[in-house]
Amino acid sequence: MYPRTERTTATRTRDRMSYDRKAAHAVLDEAYHCALGFVVQGEPRVLPTLHVRIDDTLYLHGSTGSRPLLAARGEAGLPVCVTVTHLDGLVFARSQFHHSANYRSVVAHGTARLVTDEAEKARVLTALVEKVATGRSADSRPPSRRELAETAVLALALREVSVRVRAGGVSEEPADLALPYWAGVVPLRVTAGLPEPDAGVVAPVPAYLRPARSPWLEPVVLRGEHVLLEPLAEAHAEELYAALDDEEVWRYVGGTRPRSVDEMAGDIRSALTAHHRDARVPWVQRCAVTGAVVGTTSYYQPDEDLRTVEIGYTQLGRPWWRSGINTEAKLLLLTRAFEELGAVRVTWQTNVDNERSRRAIERLGATREGTLRANRRRADGTWRESALYSMLAQEWPEAQASLRERLRPAAPVGS
């Protein structure tokens, strides 16, 4: 526990106050920015800044030319007040007076010192980067000597610290409860969006920036003797465009054929950002022997609640047709669906006019259920009819044995 002082003792709503060290650390560690208050030449200043906690010291990031850092150069240091607040919800009451907010906040008082030890400074700057994303310090260029000279760090020992929390629902006068107005809480939270790569970036989005998702939505690497399935990324655009640059490959595809690497990159971005009813889990197919990108395939509309998933968006360059790659790719996808995800049903759709595709699906052991009429819009605005196929979990063992038999070295033909 932190000791109470005159500066940290509440004058109202004391039931919301705490001096618990673990609670204070949790709020400080979760937050990404804070407000630094100080006085310069008799005038108050409050500046937003970045921070990181190491043990019981709070470090604040700044520029060597900023006012607080200049003021902290003296031996006496700089008296400061640091606040960090998480806004967790807006509280709507029937009366305007009782509208409020749910929050968690920390206030720390003390005298900040300028960090001059190079080892301590380097450790703090690394910790700041690691706070943004664990593993990022090893996945980026460290600061140069000039950059270090331009960066300053303040250190504040955590001694006078208080935690203030408001949680729960509406609190208002009993007489207001009969008023005909909506009351309740609107929760607020910080949620990371999809990473947006800078222009020219071809490196895939690192794992620590990808949101934690259900395994049904995670395109893990799948390895076979003929094919390697790896998560599709914009970096694959050039190789994928070259592999699929064939009119016959696009003959029955409903979408527009990309006419450049940039257009292929745009298609990949669309695949990676599709969600809701168009959700896709896309892979690129590589030849396991040569390492060349040869095509793409996806899970489509995965539904963890219904335990069903569709395999689609499969395109393979013509040189690799009947090579065993498509058969083994389906074997890998079906194995993951039935044995790792616990699917009860896997489906396929294909253009009813695409006889080659229909025969390939049937050779997998799938059963045709019927025809979906006018269910897919083509790029030219017309509608296609789709043949619908499915495989159930109880049918998988027999289908798996058949697929493995077809992939045996002695019998590669027909795959």
Whether 55 shows a pLDDT value over 70: the answer reads yes
pLDDT (average), residues 28-39: 93
pLDDT (average), residues 103-116: 94
**3-state secondary structure at position 49:** strand
Q: Are 137 and 79 in contact (CB under 8 A)?
A: no
pLDDT (average), residues 406-410: 78
Whether 155 shows a pLDDT value over 70: the answer reads yes
Strand locations in 158-292 (E): 160-166, 184-187, 222-223, 227-231, 280-287
At residue 68, the pLDDT reads 67
Whether 22 shows a pLDDT value over 90: the answer reads yes
Whether 299 shows a pLDDT value over 50: the answer reads yes
Token reading at 42: 């008799």
Residue owning tokens 């030219």: 380
- Residue 58 to residue 261: CA distance in whole angstroms: 48
Alpha carbons within 13 A on the beta-carbon side of 102: 17
Whether 101 shows a pLDDT value over 90: the answer reads yes
**3-state secondary structure at position 249:** coil
Contacts of 324 (CB under 8 A, 6+ apart): 226, 227, 407, 412, 415
pLDDT per position as a tens digit, 242-268: 999 999 999 888 778 999 999 999 999
The more confidently predicted of residues 218 and 54 is: 54
Token reading at 195: 């990473």
pLDDT (average), residues 365-379: 91
The more confidently predicted of residues 105 and 68 is: 105
**3-state secondary structure at position 319:** helix
**Lowest mean pLDDT across 2-11, 226-235, 284-293:** 2-11
List the domains of the chain with CATH numbers: 14-171+180-187 (2.30.110.10), 215-406 (3.40.630.30)
At residue 157, the pLDDT reads 96
pLDDT (average), residues 206-222: 86
At residue 218, the pLDDT reads 87
Long-range CB contacts for residues 245-252, cutoff 8 Å, separation at least 24: 246/317, 246/318, 248/318, 249/315, 249/316, 249/317, 249/318, 250/315, 251/354, 252/350, 252/351, 252/353, 252/354, 252/357
At residue 414, the pLDDT reads 43
At residue 413, the pLDDT reads 41
**3-state secondary structure at position 265:** helix
pLDDT band at 412 (very low <50, low <70, confident <90, very high): very low
Query: How much is the pTM?
Result: 0.64
Long-range CB contacts for residues 289-293, cutoff 8 Å, separation at least 24: 289/226, 291/228, 292/239, 292/243, 293/236, 293/239, 293/240, 293/242, 293/243
The more confidently predicted of residues 10 and 402 is: 402
Q: Look over the chain and give the mean of its residue pLDDT values, rounded to a whole number.
A: 90
Whether 415 shows a pLDDT value over 70: the answer reads no
**3-state secondary structure at position 218:** coil
- Residue 161 to residue 374: CA distance in whole angstroms: 65
pLDDT (average), residues 52-66: 89
Tell me which amino acid residue 405 is. E
Whether 373 shows a pLDDT value over 90: the answer reads yes
| Cβ count within 10 A of residue 275 | 10
The more confidently predicted of residues 114 and 63 is: 114
At residue 252, the pLDDT reads 86
pLDDT (average), residues 181-201: 88
pLDDT (average), residues 23-40: 93
- Residue 280 to residue 377: CA distance in whole angstroms: 18
Residue 282, burial from CB neighbour count under 10 angstroms (0-12, 13-18, 19+): buried
- Residue 80 to residue 73: CA distance in whole angstroms: 14
Whether 276 shows a pLDDT value over 60: the answer reads no
Contacts of 180 (CB under 8 A, 6+ apart): none
CA 238, 240, 243, 248 torsion: positive or negative? negative
Residue owning tokens 């109880």: 394
At residue 228, the pLDDT reads 96
pLDDT band at 277 (very low <50, low <70, confident <90, very high): low
Contacts of 267 (CB under 8 A, 6+ apart): 255, 258
- Residue 107 to residue 313: CA distance in whole angstroms: 54
**3-state secondary structure at position 321:** coil
- Residue 299 to residue 339: CA distance in whole angstroms: 15
Tell me which amino acid residue 346 is. V
Q: Are 313 and 282 in contact (CB under 8 A)?
A: yes
Residue 379, burial from CB neighbour count under 10 angstroms (0-12, 13-18, 19+): exposed
Q: How large is the C-alpha radius of gyration of the chain?
A: 30
pLDDT (average), residues 324-343: 96
pLDDT per position as a tens digit, 123-149: 999 999 999 999 999 999 999 989 988
**Lowest mean pLDDT across 56-70, 78-92, 381-395:** 56-70
pLDDT (average), residues 301-308: 94
